[in-house]
Structure formats: C-alpha cells, structure tokens
Amino acid sequence: MILLMMLMGFGLFKGSYLYMKLDANISKISLIRTMNDGQIYKPQELGFDFAFGVSSELDPSIGHFTVKQIGHYETDQFDINGKKVMTKIERNLRLDKCHDKHFNFTDQKEVMLKGISNYLCAIDDDYQLQGYFYQQNFEFVEIKLWKCRNSTESTVICRDKQKIDEYFEKETFNFAYINTYFDFMDYDKDSFIKKYIDDSFLFELEAEKIKKLNFYIQLQEAETQDSYVQFGQIESYKFHQISNERTYDDGYSDSEGYIAVVYIRFDMKYDLYSRKIYSLLEYLGDMGGLYRSLLSVGLIIVGQIIRRMFFSDIMHKIYQIRTKSIRDDEDSKIDKKESKNKKSQEKYDLTQEEINVKNIENRKSQFKQTLK
C-alpha cells in the first residue's frame, strides 16, 4: 500500500515535470568558426538592425555621418614584397531618419520612446559581412562621424573650427542595435529567441580623438528537442547575437577628418545552445525503474515478514509440543506441581552445564599433560 502510494507520488511529481517541461537539460558551448569557406552573413535577415546619432539632429555645417559597405579582396597579382595585392571596394549605404519604419523592430512604440526614431538608419539593406582581416575576402560595414570640412566638392559652408570642436566636446555618439537572447523557459518556436533593443552603447565624443568600436555580430546556433516523444529528432535554429565589442581611442588628425567610427564585423566566435526536455520515454523509464526497485524492496520486506511469521509459528509449535510431552509424562499430577516441574527442568539444565564445565577442565588437564 505504502509502496503503491510512493509510486503514485513519484509518478505525479515527475509527470508534472514532464508536462511543464521543467527538467530540461540546457547547455551552451562556445566555438570558433574557421570561415575558410567564405561564408557570407547577412544579419539583417535574422532581424538585426542598427541606428545611430548624436543627441540632436546633426547640422551639416558641423559634421555628418556615412555608412559604407567595405570589401577587401585578394587579387591574383603580387606586389614587390611578394604579398598578394588587395583591392578595396567601397559603397555608400543611403541613410535616413529611422522614424517609425526603418528600424526593424516589432514594437515601434519602444523605438519612439527610446528616441531611436530620431537617429539615422541605413535604408539600403543589402549589406553583408564576411571573413576577417587576414582572409581572401573581408567584408564589413563602417559607420563614420566626420567633422565638417570646407571643400570644393560640396556646397556646404562649415562653421568655424572652434565652434565645431566645442559642439563635439559636449556631444555623445549613440549606437542602438537589436540584440537577442535565448529564453530557455519559452517553448514557443516563434518566440524563444527574444529580441530587444540594446541602446547601452555610447561614446563621449572628444574633438581631438577618434573613438573606435569594433562591433562583432555572432551567428548563433540553437538545437532543441522540445517534443514529448523524442527519438532524437532535433530542430535547429540560427540567430544573431552580440556579445563582443571592443573600443579604443586614437589621436584625431585633420587629414583623416572623422572622430568616431564603428566597424560592424562577422564574429568568428559563436555559441551552440541546446535544450532537451524531459521526455515521455524517459518518464516511462524512470517510472519502470522505480517500480522495479520498489518491487524488490517490497519483496525483501515481505520476505522478512514471512520469515518472522514462519519462525514464530515454529516456536509456537515447539513450545506446544514440549508442554504437551511434559503433560503426557506427568498427566496424573495437578497444576500446582508444574512449577516444581519447571524447577527440576532448570536443575537439569544446570547439571548439564556443570558437566560441560567439567568436560572442559578435563580437556585442559589432558592438554597440559600432553604438553609435558
């Protein structure tokens, strides 16, 4: 009965785990992508987007932003040092204020509230990332903030240099982007990779420094086994995530002309997340295991009980036989004399013991004699 209740309790307990998917195994392994295969990564297709700006709209007579798709490609020619000649290709991406449509995030209200709708967004969405610096093909996106410079090429007449510097000294460069995380408690296919706006990144600008940010986008992988009945079927997902950012400062020079730069690059590192829930088969296995062990415990207990019952039965019978035989011997005597009977029995036992002791002493002396 108790065993049955234990079994039921365990069954309910584990059953609730099974049903609520509480006992999932979760792991995250960090890996490195070799990138020799020239894999091209378009994070915007996975929901990545970015926006940037200074606190208010930037007047062209003070400075301006550019966003470029840049590619370095190895050619077949060699230079005088025997190194392969690289060609560099640049393409400007058009920019516009994000408003409520260019920053690709589902909740545009939040975009408004965070002030991102006033930032700039790239409206050409065909950028891509590939490789890293020492590879044949290296593609990345570059965002630059330039100081205004008088030039014959543009009609913009800049403000005084001093005014421009004063302006930037007080300003921050803000960079917002869409980041993700794996929500382990969420089992809905469409939403367990959660997106959020990461606007934690900003530079305090300085007129005589270049603030640089290397911004690495990971291509993450996830494998889930979320169904109750598992025969090893795995569902795979890919999503983007940003966990690596590196900043550094450089001295500003007028020949370069920019005071902030962000390089958006393909991260070599990535993580493989996996989640496997407690499944029906494991549940049955656990129940079966418990059932068997309870059964064997039960058998032992029952065996003990049976043995005890058996012995007490035998003892009982022996006692009965004895008393019976004593009675048979002296059936003429009355109950009073039974006590005497017991005493004589005791005496008999005692004499028996004395005999034993004597026997031992005899043996001892014999032993001593043999020793001599």
Q: Contact positions toward ligand NAG, by CB under 6 A?
A: 23, 25, 44-45, 47, 104, 125, 150, 157-158, 160-161, 164, 276, 278, 282
Smallest distance, ligand NAG to C-beta of residue 48, A:
8
DSSP 15: H
CB of 104 or CB of 214, closer to ligand NAG: 104
CB of 115 or CB of 257, closer to ligand NAG: 257
CB of 199 or CB of 282, closer to ligand NAG: 282
Smallest distance, ligand NAG to C-beta of residue 211, A:
20
Smallest distance, ligand NAG to C-beta of residue 144, A:
17
Smallest distance, ligand NAG to C-beta of residue 141, A:
14
Compute the distance between CA of residue 143 and CA of residue 248 in angstroms, rounded to an integer.
Answer: 15
Smallest distance, ligand NAG to C-beta of residue 60, A:
12
Residue number with the smallest Cβ distance to ligand NAG: 47
Count the residues in the chain.
372
Q: How far is CA 340 from CA 60, 124, 332, 351, 352, in A?
A: 129, 119, 14, 16, 18
CB of 255 or CB of 369, closer to ligand NAG: 255
**First and final CA of the chain: distance in angstroms?**
70
CB of 201 or CB of 278, closer to ligand NAG: 278
Between helices 280-329 and 2-20, what is the axis angle to 10°?
Answer: 170
Q: Following DSSP, what letter does each residue of 94-126 receive, concatenated?
A: PEEE-TTTSS--S-HHHHHHTTGGGSEEE----
CB of 173 or CB of 239, closer to ligand NAG: 239
Compute the distance between CA of residue 58 and CA of residue 259 in angstroms, rounded to an integer.
Answer: 14
Placement of tokens 């890293």 in the chain? 132
Smallest distance, ligand NAG to C-beta of residue 269, A:
23
Q: Could you give the angle at the alpha carbon of 190 between the alpha carbons of 184 and 192, nearest 5°?
A: 15
